[in-house]
Amino acid sequence: MEILMNVIICTDSPILLNRLVTILSELSHLHVAGVTNTLDEAEAEIRKNNAQVFITAFHNIHKTVFKKLNGIKKNNSGLVVIVLTNNTAEQYLSQWKKAGADYVFDQAMHFTKLMDILAGFVYKNFLESLRSNYYDEKKPV
């Protein structure tokens, strides 16, 4: 049984994008379903691909980014939002959390943590699928 978690990546950095795609390809059962460079495009890709995880990273942060991310989170129940940022000052971390980020990582330092978090989600998704299939098989015909 092939179980895939769909991930959407949104970043303005081609270098970071290549690094993310390379790292994420190491995780089985995880599929990079879409890549965008704007949050508007990302929101459409999230809906189109029924994404479970959204990873975003921008070098230039404007107030509209926080507002848009908040809307994405509110409109996509259950979506896990991961922000990679160079701005790790407390004021930015709290703004990301208020905007709906489930995790905020320093993009220069925490790729290992990102992999650990995603591997945990894949495992949890796999267990939930097994549980669901088990109960489906037990239903009377």
pLDDT along the chain (141 residues), means of 10: 81 90 84 94 96 89 87 94 87 90 80 71 65 59 50
Tokens of 94: 């709290």
> What is the DSSP secondary structure assignment for residue 110, as one 8-state letter?
-
Overall residue count recorded for the chain in this entry:
141
Per DSSP, helices labelled H in 76-110 are: 90-98
- What is the CATH architecture of 5-138? 3-Layer(aba) Sandwich (3.40)
Tokens 């978090």 — which residue?
A: 117
Confidence (pLDDT) at 140: 56
Query: Quick check: 80 and 101 in contact, CB under 8 A?
Result: no
Tokens of 13: 């950095």
Domain boundaries defined on the chain:
5-138
- CA distance linking residue 117 with residue 37, whole number of Å: 23
Confidence (pLDDT) at 135: 57
Q: Which residues contact 36 (CB under 8 A, 6 or more apart)?
A: 8, 9, 10, 42, 45
Phi, psi for residue 7 in degrees, rounded to 5: -120, 135
Tokens of 43: 């929101």
Confidence (pLDDT) at 1: 44
Query: Quick check: 93 and 104 in contact, CB under 8 A?
Result: yes
- CA distance linking residue 130 with residue 141, whole number of Å: 20
